């Protein structure tokens, strides 16, 4: 009879308690990693919904990088005729 109680106890431990404990630990670690990365869990959006994420307009360049030059390419008449 004692042998059956041990088998039942081990079954209960490995089939019920251990998986529940592991799920709890994984969720806890996922939340900690998300908070550390500054991210929050997002709800899945509806299919076909379009979202636009904008960035800051100013460009941040460190002072020790050197001079930053922003330029545009201009095409001339002779380049477009070729």
> Residue 42 has what pLDDT?
62
- In tens digits, the chain (82 residues) has pLDDT values of 889 999 999 888 888 888 999 999 999 999 888 887 775 556 677 788 888 777 767 767 677 777 767 888 888 776 555 5
Q: Can you tell me the distance from the alpha carbon of 33 to that of 8, in angstroms, rounded to the nearest whole number? A: 37
State both tokens at 24.
């709890």
DSSP letter string, 8-58: HHHHHIIIIIHHHHHHHHHHHHHHHHHHHTT----PPPPTT--------SS
Q: What is the pTM of this model?
A: 0.38
For the chain, the straight-line distance linking the first and the last C-alpha, in angstroms and rounded, comes to: 96
């Amino acid at each position: 009879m004692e042998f059956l109680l041990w088998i039942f106890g081990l079954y209960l431990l490995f089939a019920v308690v251990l998986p529940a404990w592991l799920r709890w630990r994984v969720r806890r670690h996922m939340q900690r990693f998300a908070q550390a990365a500054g991210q929050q869990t997002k709800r899945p959006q509806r299919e076909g919904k379009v979202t636009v994420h904008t960035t800051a307009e100013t460009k941040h360049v460190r002072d020790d990088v050197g001079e930053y030059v922003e330029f545009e390419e201009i095409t001339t008449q002779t380049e477009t005729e070729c």
